[in-house]
Copies of this chain bind each other. A is one copy, B any other.
Amino acid sequence: MLCGMQAHDGPLTRLRKSHEQSVLDLLRKHGPLSRAELGAHSGLSRTTLYDIVAGLVEGGTVVAATPPAEVRRRGRPVEKLSLNPHAGEAVGIDFARRAVHVSAINVAHEMIGSASEAHAPGLTWNQRADIAERLLGSLGGAPPRGAAAHGSAPRGASAGRAPRRGTLRLGALSAIGVGVVGPLIDVGGTDAREGSLDGLPGLLHERFGVPVLLDNNTRLAALAEAVWGAAADSGDVLYVRLSHGVGGGLVVGGSLHRGMYGMSGEFGHVTVDPDGVPCQCGGTGCLETVASIDAVLQRYRAAGGRAEDVTAFLAAAASGDDTAHAVLARAGTAVGTVLAAVCNAVGPGVIVIGGELAEAGATLIEPVERALHTHVMPLVRDRVRVRRATLGEAGSALGGIALVLHESPLLSRYPQPATEEHA
């Protein structure tokens, strides 16, 4: 489901927006400029330009400053205009199972920051939106140096939980990309998840007053890894996430792939053991029943291991616990077997493994690679590369931003935001 909420703009508003965009593009390209310089570059009349600039300054997108005395020429100081590094242009929100993650980029397409907060299960969408709003308010520090949101990994993405100076100004916001758990079939349709998403786009639109795009959060993480992360060099990417659920996403021939009905990348529900245990999807012996956090913890405990949660389990694995290693090897083997099948079918260049379990590193990745190499076509064996995800828990929120920007060639064939109102 890709829900777009867009106010219907009249032609005058559109013209104004186009002028604003020209001004912002010039400031992005040239850095600080005076009004006279902006006028010369943009070709706008003095009256129009002053009006547009006034609006941008008032909205917080652009800041005006006079250069320090020592660099001034004689005469009246010339005010320079520049992009406000605290003005968010696009925001990504990931409503994960029990946590909310947010990321924001500024009008110069630089990373402002990311933030996360865990929460109890069973919260309403309103409560979860509260958390998102609070987290966004906590952003707004200076952007990490050199962390452009295009072409390179937005550094600082996973270090976003540290308190930040300043406050993100949402006045310049153009859109919000939102990731949610579970397969999304049809706009407004019913699906297998607890609760309905029907109210979410409207609720967020009401709070933030900008278009809201909704997609599966694992697919958004795949997008982010392909745009800025571990697979930024490949147009054919298979991403699998080993978290509370097991899911993934595909970038196929340079495009993020949704699949018919929005169903794709559901690697977690490929059968790996026809005699296995029931899966929440209704199937039996799905990969998720072997390689999710819960499945791994359950097996670890059944084998006598003691771990309160996945963090404790990963610590045990890191300390050389044989039981933990055996459990990870079994999960990794199942993952590699499924990846081999998908690999034969789709032929990716890079496989990216993300989610909390990927933090086990080689203990998990090596069994994945062994099973992959055993089952994938020999001709492909040495051509496909397996890598760990690099964007961490912020991945889906960053993918939300990538979705909203809709500028990556990866999205050239992805559905465009709908302009219909959707309640």
Contacts and interface: CB of A to CB of B under 8 A. Distances in A.
The winner among A192, A267, A281 for most chain B CB atoms within 10 A is: A281
A166 interface: no
A252 interface: yes
Question: What is the count of identical protomers in the complex?
Answer: 2
Contacts of A259: 236, 253, 346-348
A265 interface: yes
Interface string A229-257: 00000111000000000001010111101
A172 to B, nearest CB: 33
A380 B254 contact: no
Interface range on chain A: under 10, 10 to 19, 20 to 34, or 35 or more? 35 or more
Interface stretch (A98-106, A334-342, A399-407): A334-342
Interface in A374-400: 374-375, 377-380, 383-384
Contacts of A234: 260
The winner among A257, A340, A344, A384 for most chain B CB atoms within 10 A is: A344
A16 interface: no
Contacts of A257: 252-253, 346-347
A378 B258 contact: no
A44 interface: no
A266 interface: yes
A283 interface: yes
Interface in A255-285: 255, 257-267, 269-271, 274, 281-283
B282 A378 contact: yes
A341 B270 CA distance: 5
A262 B347 CA distance: 8
A349 interface: yes
Contacts of A236: 259-260
Given A253-B252, A270-B345, A344-B269, A183 B263 contact: no
A360 interface: no
A413 interface: yes
Interface in A289-341: 337-338, 340-341
B344 A266 contact: yes
Given A192-B379, A253-B255, A413-B254, A346 B347 contact: no
A117 interface: no
A203 interface: no
Contact of A341 (B264, B342, B374, B383): B342
Given A253-B258, A413-B413, A283 B346 contact: no
A270 B340 contact: yes
A206 interface: no
22 contacts: A185-B379, A235-B260, A236-B260, A252-B253, A253-B257, A253-B413, A255-B255, A257-B347, A260-B347, A263-B347, A263-B379, A264-B345, A281-B377, A281-B378, A282-B377, A283-B374, A283-B375, A342-B342, A342-B345, A345-B346, A346-B346, A413-B413
Interface of A: 183, 185, 191-192, 234-236, 248, 250, 252-255, 257-267, 269-271, 274, 281-283, 337-338, 340-342, 344-349, 374-375, 377-380, 383-384, 413
